[in-house]
């Protein structure tokens, strides 16, 4: 409610402007939405680890169950409100408790009660909004398209001006004709000046001489010359130096584009829980890169002892078994980069999730080094072991093989253990043993310096 003071003769009069129902409704809706966002952010670790997110149809809204919000309202006094105080009654100051009553059923020890439990409602959130909330909660940088490497993409050709030389297919008719008309008027003026004859007579001679000024002069000097035209009709006289050609150049546009090669171990040692962790991590990483790149292509590789390219649905639902040879997946990823996504034109990101067991970790290391040499932006490795085994102490896991082969430092953030590449080594390895590690692991993969070339 707003008050305005209007000055009148002899005093002032307050004018009250009542807020419209529509305005109040909009404010209430905004407040309600903000409360919902706060509730969602509070439970992000649980929300992003819901398997229904990756099994649903891509692009649909995500359903989230949150506690119902109690909107303030007026109600009639009941017999249970004997001590309640009405509005504007009695003394009070901001923050004073103006009335309370004990809720039946609360007390020592378990006991039956008749009070209703908390109400929960189901709300829907766009996938993009949920990603924005993740950025806000993690304090990650806002997405800046200029921070990623831009590639100059050829779109064809465009006209960039005109020149006096060029191939005949690029002749510019309009500009060439314009030069020809200029030459016509120059020749006509020269004939008039030279012969002191009327313009129409000079035009007739120039026209009959097909634009050749020397021949026109000879005609005008002939005492038997008879003009054949009764009015001046300009026509272009085109010499070689009057030709104009279109000047073209490559039409290019700076474009940020990326390829994400998602790799997952589906060998016999990867049980359903490990695959569940791997799928969730890869789902969110892929969605992140889809947000920051104008063009992004996702390629999916599953492997056991052998690797194969699969479609997205197969990747997130496949069931396999057998031994583990991660180098087959890395080799296939490298071949994709070399043959289809050269790093001179593409930002390339490789992600691999496994439980760390591998028949020959040294072969895997050798293939990743080759990927580094091809100029990939990042290799992210997630080692998953929900049983909580101390993978960093094992000498036979992929994580230990990478730690020995690359210059890295050990880092721990909020219970999440990592090894991070030093210098120009674009490597990050994380150990995931619990659901609560999923969000911190994502935050570490998404730190700006890991995906940015800036």
Average pLDDT over residues 239-254: 76
Q: Cα(192)–Cα(315) distance, rounded to whole angstroms?
A: 86
Average pLDDT over residues 49-73: 56
Percent of the chain past pLDDT 90, that is, above it, reads 25
Burial 240-252 (b: 16+ CB within 10 A, else e): eebbbbbeeeeee
State the chain's mean pLDDT as an integer. Answer: 75
Q: Comparing 273 with 236, which gets the higher pLDDT?
A: 236
pLDDT digits (tens, 9 = 90+) for 329-355: 999 999 999 999 998 888 888 999 999
Could you list the beta-strand ranges (E) of 112-199: 120-125, 151-163
Residue 120: pLDDT above 60?
no
Report residue 84 as tokens.
Answer: 């309640």
Residue 11: pLDDT above 80?
no
pLDDT digits (tens, 9 = 90+) for 412-432: 887 888 999 998 899 999 998
Report residue 287 as tokens.
Answer: 């969605």
Q: Cα(19)–Cα(198) distance, rounded to whole angstroms?
A: 85
Residues paired with residue 64 on neighbouring β-strands, in sequence order: 123
Which residue has 């004939």 as its token pair?
A: 191
Verdict on whether the full-model pTM lies above 0.85: no
Q: How confident is the model at residue 258 (pLDDT cuts 50, 70, 90)?
A: confident
Report pLDDT for 404: 92
Average pLDDT over residues 65-92: 57
Is the Cβ–Cβ distance between 380 and 354 less than 8 Å?
no
Q: Cα(266)–Cα(354) distance, rounded to whole angstroms?
A: 8
Report pLDDT for 440: 83
Q: Residue 431: which of 417, 445, 448, 415 has the closest Cα?
A: 417
- Pairing outcome for strands 62-67 and 120-125: antiparallel
How is 246-301 classified by DSSP, letter by letter? EEEEEEEEEE-EEEEEEEEE-STT--HHHHHHHHHHHHHHHHHHHHH-SEEEEEEE
Q: Comparing 72-76, 126-130, 361-365, 450-454, which segment has the lowest mean pLDDT?
A: 450-454
pLDDT digits (tens, 9 = 90+) for 154-188: 555 666 678 888 787 788 888 889 999 999 999 99
DSSP label at residue 146: G
Q: Which domains does the chain have, with CATH numbers?
A: 21-68+120-139 (no CATH), 162-247 (no CATH), 257-451 (3.40.50.410)
Q: Residue 41: which of 445, 454, 439 has the closest Cα?
A: 439
Q: Cα(416)–Cα(441) distance, rounded to whole angstroms?
A: 7
How is 56-102 classified by DSSP, letter by letter? S-TTSPEEEEEEPP---------GGGTT---TT-S---TT------P
Q: Which range, 128-142, 314-328, 336-350, 434-448, is most confident?
A: 336-350
Is the Cβ–Cβ distance between 199 and 192 less than 8 Å?
yes
């Amino acid at each position: 409610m707003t008050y305005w003071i209007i000055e009148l003769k002899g005093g002032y009069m307050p004018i009250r402007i009542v807020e419209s129902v529509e305005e109040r409704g909009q404010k209430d809706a905004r407040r309600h939405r903000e409360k919902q966002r706060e509730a969602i952010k509070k439970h992000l670790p649980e929300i992003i680890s819901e398997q229904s997110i990756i099994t649903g149809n891509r692009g649909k809204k995500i359903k989230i169950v949150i506690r119902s919000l109690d909107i303030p309202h007026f109600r009639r006094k009941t017999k249970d409100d004997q001590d309640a105080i009405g509005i504007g009654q009695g003394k009070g100051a901001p923050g004073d408790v103006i009335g309370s009553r004990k809720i039946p059923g609360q007390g020592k020890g378990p006991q039956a009660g008749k009070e209703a439990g908390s109400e929960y409602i189901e709300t829907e959130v766009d996938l993009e909004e949920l990603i924005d909330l993740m950025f806000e909660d993690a304090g990650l940088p806002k997405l800046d398209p200029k921070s990623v490497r831009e590639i100059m993409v050829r779109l064809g050709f465009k006209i960039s001006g005109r020149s006096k030389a060029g191939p005949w297919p690029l002749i510019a008719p309009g500009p060439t004709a314009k030069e020809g008309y200029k030459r016509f008027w120059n020749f006509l003026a020269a004939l008039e000046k030279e012969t002191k004859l009327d313009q129409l007579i000079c035009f007739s001679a120039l026209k009959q001489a097909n634009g050749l000024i020397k021949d026109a002069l000879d005609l005008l000097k002939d005492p038997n010359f008879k003009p054949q035209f009764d009015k001046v009709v300009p026509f272009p006289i085109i010499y070689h130096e009057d030709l104009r050609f279109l000047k073209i150049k490559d039409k290019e546009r700076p474009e940020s584009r990326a390829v994400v090669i998602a790799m997952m171990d589906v060998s016999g040692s990867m049980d359903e829980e490990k695959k569940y962790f791997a799928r969730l991590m890869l789902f969110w990483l892929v969605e992140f890169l889809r947000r920051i790149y104008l063009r992004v292509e996702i390629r999916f590789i599953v492997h056991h002892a052998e690797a194969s390219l699969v479609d997205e649905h197969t990747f997130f639902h496949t069931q396999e078994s057998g031994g583990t040879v991660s180098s087959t997946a890395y080799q296939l990823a490298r071949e994709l980069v070399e043959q289809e996504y050269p790093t001179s034109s593409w930002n390339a990101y490789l992600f691999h999730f496994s439980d760390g067991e591998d028949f020959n970790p040294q072969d895997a290391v050798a293939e990743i080094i080759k990927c580094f040499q091809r100029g990939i932006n990042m290799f992210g490795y997630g080692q998953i072991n929900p049983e909580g085994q101390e993978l960093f102490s094992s000498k036979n896991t992929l994580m230990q093989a990478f730690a020995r082969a690359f210059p890295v430092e050990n880092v721990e953030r909020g219970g999440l253990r990592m090894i991070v590449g030093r210098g120009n080594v674009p490597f990050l390895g994380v150990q995931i043993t619990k659901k609560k590690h999923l969000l911190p692991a994502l935050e570490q993969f998404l730190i700006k310096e890991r995906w940015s070339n800036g």
